[in-house]
C-alpha cells in the first residue's frame, strides 16, 4: 500500500527506516521530510497542518494510511478531518482524535483526566488572568520549588521550575497577564513538585487494547551532567536499566490500564501513541505529562528495537486488532546521540555542509534538521542528526555511537559526551 508519513525530524526518519522494511509498504511519502527520508522515501513539500493540501495529495496518490509524527496536526484535528470527510473516512490515520490530543494540547485537560480516572499525578490547581491573585495565594501554600505549566502547546518551553516564591509569583503574572507564552499561557497549571527519577512509558493503542513499547530515557539538557537549557532531547537509551518488572507492573496497572479504560469511558477515540512522562518517587510512578505522539529522540532507540513489522502493527491499530498482534522486541540495547548545531537551543546557523556520513557503517544515522543542497547534505535545524547503535549493553552501544560521531563533521557541530552517565 501507499503510506503518507507526516513530519520532518529524527523520529520520522526512524519511522520511515522501519516502515520501508515492511512488505506491506509499496510506496512511502514523507511530508515534508528531510535529507534522510529523501534517501529512502519520497519527500513531499507539504506542511503537516495543511489539511486541505494533504487531502488533495492523499486522493491523487491513492494513499491508504496516514501516520502522524508530531503533535501539531493531531491537536489541530487531523484525525477528525479524515473521519468527517466522505472521500477520506476509509483511510486510517495513526494518531488520536482531536479530543484525545487534548491530553497534550491542554495541561488542564490532562490533569482533569488523570484525577477523574484516579491515575497518580501531582496535586495541582489551575488559574487564569482573572484568578491570578488566587494563584499567588495558592503558591504560598506550597513548598518550593514551584512548578508552573502553561496550559497549551509551547514548543516544550512552557514549564517553569522556580525556587523562590516571589519569583514564582512574578512568573505566574508574566504568564497569565503578560502572555509570556502567548495564548498557551492564558491558563496556567500550578503543580506540586515531585522529587524522583524521570522515565517515559510508550504505549500504542487501538482504543480497546494496547501494547507497551520498550522503555527509553532521554537527556533533555544541552550541557553535560544534565546542566544548562532544555532542548528537544540530546540522546536516548533503551531499555532503561533501572526499570524492573515490579516497577513496570505498577506502571501498567496504575497508569496504562486506567488511561486506556479512561479513553473508553470518556468516549475518546484514540488509535495511536501515548507517551506517558513519569517521575518515580520512591518506587511509586506518578504521571507528570501525556504526549500524544512518540518522543524524539526516544523513537530513534525504541523503533530500532522493534523486530515486528511496523506497518503491520499500525494496520492492527487501524483495524482494532492490536490484542492479537505479537510484538517482538530485540533484547539488545540501543542508544542514540544527537548531534546539534553550535548555539542550539538558542541561536544557531544553518546550511553547514555535513561530511563523513558515508563512512558510518555499523551505526544508523537518523537525520533530523537536514536538507539536500545539490549533492550536499546540509544542516537545516538545531538538532541535525542522531547516531543510533546497538550493543549487548548500553555502554557498548554508546561507545559505538561516539566512535562513529568522530567520523562526522560540520562547522560548529556539538553533542553531549556523557549520554547514559547516570545509568552506570
Ligand atoms: P513537562 O512538559 O510536563 O514534561 O515538563 C517538563 C519537565 O519539567 C519535565 O520533564 C520534568 O523534568 C519537569 N517537571 C514537570 N512537572 C514536574 C513536577 N510536578 N515535579 C518535578 N518536575 C516536573
Ligand atoms: N524527547 C522528548 C519529547 O519528544 O517530548
pLDDT at residue 75, as a whole number: 97
Summarize pLDDT for 363-388 with one digit per residue, the tens. Answer: 999 999 999 999 999 999 999 999 99
Summarize pLDDT for 222-237 with one digit per residue, the tens. Answer: 999 999 988 999 999 9
In this prediction, residues 352-369 reach a mean pLDDT of 97
Expressed in angstroms and rounded, the spacing between residue 284 Cα and the centre of ligand 1 is: 16
Q: Which residue, 213, 214, 191, 193, is CA-closest to 204?
A: 213
pLDDT at residue 159, as a whole number: 85
pLDDT at residue 177, as a whole number: 83
What are the residue ranges of helices labelled H in 41-176? Answer: 51-61, 72-75, 78-83, 98-105, 107-116, 132-140, 165-176
Expressed in angstroms and rounded, the spacing between residue 346 Cα and the centre of ligand 2 is: 18
Q: Determine if ligand 2 sits within 6 Å of the CB of residue 231.
A: no
Burial class (CB in 10 A: 0-12, 13-18, 19+), 62: exposed
Q: Which residue, 377, 424, 375, is CA-closest to 399?
A: 424
Name the residue at shortest CA distance from atom 4 of ligand 1: 289
105: its cell numbers: 494540547
Q: Determine if ligand 2 sits within 6 Å of the CB of residue 291.
A: yes
pLDDT at residue 83, as a whole number: 98
In this prediction, residues 2-30 reach a mean pLDDT of 98
Q: In whole angstroms, what is the distance from residue 16 CA to residue 58 CA?
A: 17
Name the residue at shortest CA distance from atom 2 of ligand 2: 295
Q: In whole angstroms, what is the distance from residue 86 CA to residue 421 CA?
A: 52
Residue 421 has pLDDT above 80, yes or no: yes
Nearest ligand 2 atom to the CA of 236 is 1
In this prediction, residues 316-333 reach a mean pLDDT of 98
Q: Please, which residues bridge with residue 124 across strands? A: 191
Q: In whole angstroms, what is the distance from residue 323 CA to residue 333 CA?
A: 26
Longest dimension (CA), the chain: 60
Residue 416 has pLDDT above 80, yes or no: yes
Q: Determine if ligand 2 sits within 6 Å of the CB of residue 92.
A: no
Expressed in angstroms and rounded, the spacing between residue 287 Cα and the centre of ligand 1 is: 10
Summarize pLDDT for 96-108 with one digit per residue, the tens. Answer: 999 999 999 999 9
pLDDT at residue 180, as a whole number: 84
In this prediction, residues 17-25 reach a mean pLDDT of 98
In a mutational test of the pocket of ligand 2, which residue from 156, 219, 221 has the highest number of ligand atoms less than 8 Å from its CB?
A: 156
Expressed in angstroms and rounded, the spacing between residue 160 Cα and the centre of ligand 1 is: 8
Domains, the chain, in order of start with CATH, read 2-96 (3.40.50.20), 124-191 (3.30.1490.20)
Residue 124 has pLDDT above 90, yes or no: no
Average pLDDT of the chain, as a whole number: 95
Residue 408 has pLDDT above 80, yes or no: yes
Contact 340, 415 (CB under 8 A): yes
pLDDT band at 246 (very low <50, low <70, confident <90, very high): very high
Establish whether the linkage from the previous residue to 297 is cis, with ω within 30° of 0.
Answer: yes
In a mutational test of the pocket of ligand 2, which residue from 75, 105, 233 has the highest number of ligand atoms less than 8 Å from its CB?
A: 233
Residue 54 has pLDDT above 80, yes or no: yes
Expressed in angstroms and rounded, the spacing between residue 313 Cα and the centre of ligand 2 is: 22
What global pTM score does this model have? 0.94
Nearest ligand 2 atom to the CA of 232 is 1
In this prediction, residues 349-376 reach a mean pLDDT of 96
In this prediction, residues 175-198 reach a mean pLDDT of 87
Residue 155 has pLDDT above 80, yes or no: no
Residue 219 has pLDDT above 80, yes or no: yes
* Residues in the ligand 1 pocket, defined by CB under 6 Å: 122, 147, 149, 159, 161, 191, 193-194, 198, 277, 288-289
pLDDT at residue 399, as a whole number: 97
pLDDT band at 130 (very low <50, low <70, confident <90, very high): confident
Residue 182 has pLDDT above 80, yes or no: no
pLDDT at residue 186, as a whole number: 81
pLDDT at residue 157, as a whole number: 75
Name the residue at shortest CA distance from atom 5 of ligand 2: 295
Burial 104-120 (b: 16+ CB within 10 A, else e): bbbbbbbbebbeebebb
Residue 181 has pLDDT above 90, yes or no: no
pLDDT at residue 11, as a whole number: 98
Amino acid at each position: 500500500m501507499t503510506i503518507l508519513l507526516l513530519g520532518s525530524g529524527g523520529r520520522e526518519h526512524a519511522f520511515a527506516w522501519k516502515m520501508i522494511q515492511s512488505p506491506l509498504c509499496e510506496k512511502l511519502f514523507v511530508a515534508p521530510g528531510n535529507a534522510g527520508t529523501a534517501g529512502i522515501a519520497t519527500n513531499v513539500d507539504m506542511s503537516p497542518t495543511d489539511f486541505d493540501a494533504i487531502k488533495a495529495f492523499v486522493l491523487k496518490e491513492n494513499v491508504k494510511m496516514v501516520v502522524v509524527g508530531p503533535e501539531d496536526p493531531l491537536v489541530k484535528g487531523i484525525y477528525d478531518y479524515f473521519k468527517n470527510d466522505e472521500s477520506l473516512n476509509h483511510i486510517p490515520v495513526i494518531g488520536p482524535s482531536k479530543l484525545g490530543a487534548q491530553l497534550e494540547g491542554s495541561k488542564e485537560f490532562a490533569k482533569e483526566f488523570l484525577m477523574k480516572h484516579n491515575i497518580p499525578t501531582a496535586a495541582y490547581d489551575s488559574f487564569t488572568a482573572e484568578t491570578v491573585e488566587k494563584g499567588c495565594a495558592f503558591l504560598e501554600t506550597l513548598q518550593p520549588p514551584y512548578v508552573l505549566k502553561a496550559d497549551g502547546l509551547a514548543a516544550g518551553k512552557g514549564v517553569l521550575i522556580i525556587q523562590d516564591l516571589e519569583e514564582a509569583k512574578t512568573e505566574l503574572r508574566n504568564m497569565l497577564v503578560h502572555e509570556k507564552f502567548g495564548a498557551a499561557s492564558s491558563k496556567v497549571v500550578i503543580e506540586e513538585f515531585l522529587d524522583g527519577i524521570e522515565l517515559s512509558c510508550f504505549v500504542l493503542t487501538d482504543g480497546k487494547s494496547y501494547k507497551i513499547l520498550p522503555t527509553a530515557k532521554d537527556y533533555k539538557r544541552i550541557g553535560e551532567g544534565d546542566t544548562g537549557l532544555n532542548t528537544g532531547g540530546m540522546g536516548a537509551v533503551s531499555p532503561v536499566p533501572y526499570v524492573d518488572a515490579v516497577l513496570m507492573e505498577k506502571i501498567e496497572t496504575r497508569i496504562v490500564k486506567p488511561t486506556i479504560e479512561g479513553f473508553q469511558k470518556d468516549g475518546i477515540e484514540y488509535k495511536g501513541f501515548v507517551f506517558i512522562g513519569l517521575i518515580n518517587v520512591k518506587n511509586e510512578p506518578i504521571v507528570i505529562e501525556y504526549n500524544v505522539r512518540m518522543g524524539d529522540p526516544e523513537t530513534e532507540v525504541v523503533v530500532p528495537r522493534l523486530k515486528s513489522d511496523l506497518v503491520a502493527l499500525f494496520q492492527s491499530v487501524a483495524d482494532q486488532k492490536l490484542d492479537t498482534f505479537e510484538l517482538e522486541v530485540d533484547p539488545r540495547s540501543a542508544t542514540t546521540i544527537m548531534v546539534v548545531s553550535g548555539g542550539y537551543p538558542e541561536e544557531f546557523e544553518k546550511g553547514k555542509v555535513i561530511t563523513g556520513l558515508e563512512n558510518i557503517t555499523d551505526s544508523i544515522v537518523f537525520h533530523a534538521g537536514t536538507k539536500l543542497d545539490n549533492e550536499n547534505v546540509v544542516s537545516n535545524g538545531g538538532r541535525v542528526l542522531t547516531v543510533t547503535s546497538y550493543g549487548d549493553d548500553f555502554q557498548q552501544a554508546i561507545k559505538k555511537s561516539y566512535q562513529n560521531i568522530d567520523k562526522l563533521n560540520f562547522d560548529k557541530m556539538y553533542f553531549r559526551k556523557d549520554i547514559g552517565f547516570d545509568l552506570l
